[in-house]
Structure 1
Amino acid sequence: MAGVLVVGVERRSHLLFAAALAALTAGVLGARDLLPLFTAMSLLGALIPDFDLGFRHRMLLHNVFIGAALAGLPLLAGVFLPVFPASMLWGLPLGFASHIFLDMATFQGVALFYPLSRRRFRYARLRSTSRLANLAVEAISTLIFLYALMLNYA
């Protein structure tokens, strides 16, 4: 029904993994003081690839060209909006990349170079519907997130 906005098992895994990476990298990317906004951008970035559900899924929005466009946003903001905290926008490509990384672990893989190539890339053969795989990602992501918070703010 609501497609992109319904938080299912796989989507929850994507969101938790993106939040974990955001907490872990916020300091490196100069966004430690903006962690809530940086994490929100990362969560949004993790949802973007699934906006193509039902239409060339894992092709149209699962490629390096979309990732490059998202990475360009903080660069452009830094140039044209010098007062704006562009570092928080690095969460968008981070969340996007985290989503692609997890989807590359599935049987279907990801068409990284679409529309230039329909070839799909993967590094594992997990099922995106596997409850065990999703629970493992969620547990590891939660531990990374908590560790990063202690590391950055203790």
Structure 2
Amino acid sequence: MNVEIRTRPATHLVGIALKTSLRDERNLREIPAFWRQLSQDGALFRLAEGAPIYGAVIEFDPSSRDFTYLAGFEHPVAQPLPQGMQPCELPAGRYAVLTTTPTPPENCGAEIAASWFHLHRTWLPASGYLRGAGPEFERYDERFHPQRALVELELWLPLGEE
């Protein structure tokens, strides 16, 4: 798995939030179910108008391992929030970016979980970098389309000082 170091500007997102947890691997069940529900409803994708979609881990509590997962899209700060949506700021900074291995859409949940595990447990400890402040997130662009035979996405992990 190849990891690149990239710098990006601050990005303002709006989206729909899900409260979940790492406890008992709830997130591995609840986040895929959340995406299925969003896909069936379609409102998030209509509002994004073909722009990339993000899945951001926000409000993480290390003691309880609970967090909020926000599925959203870039949105100008000056514009009003769409009804029922929550804002999220992805800070400017340096990030480790892992592009997942192309995989069939039905297997993407397992690929995403394995890729996050690799980024946190293998790459980060060996990299010389520290985990930075701010949300980690998934970025779904044109390479992630359910009608493609193989899909891929980017995982972005904020980095601190070396």
Higher helix share: 1
Higher strand share: 2
TM-score (norm 2): 0.29
